[in-house]
Chains A and B, each alone.
Chain A
Amino acid sequence: MKYIDPHIHMVSRTTDDYRRMAQAGCVAITEPAFWAGFDRCSVDGFRDYYRQLTDTEPKRAAQYGIQHHCWLCINPKEAEDTGFAKEVMSIIPDFLDRPNVLGIGEIGLNKNSKNELAVLEAHLELASQRNQLVLVHTPHLEDKHKGTRLILDAVNNAGLNPDRVLIDHVEEHTVGLVLDRGFWAGMTLYPDTKCTPQRAVDILEQWGTDRIWMNSAGDWGDSDPLAVPKARMEMKRRRHSTDMIEKVTFANPVSFLGRSPNFRVEA
């Protein structure tokens, strides 16, 4: 059965991860721009990263029959210096017309600071002007609930249609805020410190399967590029229907991502 991992940072993964993902049924991925584990010191550092996301990575994925798409932004961890963030943002429009770009992301908040919020608002304005889809990172741990509330207000204030915005890394205390306001929700599966496949399936049992997907957010840290197929096994183990598994891990991503003309997947 085919699946989509709609949030994975393949620039940080090896080629055999692509192979194993393809073997497990992965046919498409989307890769949001994120923090490299250190703060970059120049606009050109980001320009090279955007080239990697829009040129190199799609070719690497294609070798394994995986369609690669990406999202562009300066992530919230590097947004505390608003002057630098705005310089980086000024080159994003140069890349928005590349054929694998789906929109702006993963923008959002990290420590819920005023500067992070200002940079988030600037990205939302860019998304609105360029009619782009939006993928939003919510903060981790104690900062998630407050950050999610601030983010939902900022998106509403920017006048974006919630049906074109996905709020990622939802957990038990934020999923309701996101779905009740008409947004799409992403659950990120982590090996230990955050949401496990078991808890993600618990959330589906409580909230249903409309406007929600699952991703691995695999990156350079502790993470699992096969987290989505593992969550599918967890759903199967609990005797959830094949239709439900297919909806959450394939049809829902196709439905949301298909709002961008650049999204491509084999039917």
Chain B
Amino acid sequence: MAEVKIIDLKANVLEDNDILAEKTRARLRGERTFLLNLMSAPGSGKTTTLTRLIEEIKDDLKIAVMEADIDSDVDAKRIIDAGADAIQLHTGGMCHLDADMTTQGLDSIRSRRYDLVVLENVGNLVCPAEFDTGATKNAMILSVPEGDDKPLKYPLMFQVADVVIINKIDVMPYFDFDMEKAKANIEMRHPGIEVIPICAKTGEGIDKLAAWIRKEFEKICNEEEA
């Protein structure tokens, strides 16, 4: 009888994704395109924030948005109405985007033509943090109704984020949300990270987010010259 042999592999299952993500970042540097991966729980206000941001910066930066909507093109339409280009990514019902789906999206919009491409990731706080998409920077939105203890429950999301946007500050009086506590919890998970409170509904604070985008975009432009 044949004997079963145990072969030790210890192989990282996500290695191919990590390699492709690095390649994508190098490509984007060459194209002088800034790719922002925007993550949040469902309904935290990703699309509303993007429409506001587009209105604020579309005169300075050429923008496209890649929407990972599961089965509707509602969000893509809202982006186009706001004045940017948009495409719908085919996620096949997946709960996150990976580097492969992202590169396919970049190819089909021809990312070279844009200064800023935003990836609206699938609404989910768990696995989008696991899969490196190849984005230049990661942003996450925490909305007030979700609570100020989210950073404690989803540490990885706050660790991979480069900026945290706190949205729906208009409803703070109705929720038990302590802004200082939220900021302290975020600082704990990711010391030194920038936190930008906004109200996407009214546009309050969007100028701060736009300033962050402009600053980061400038960095990649200077990097290329260096």
Q: Do A and B come from one complex?
A: no
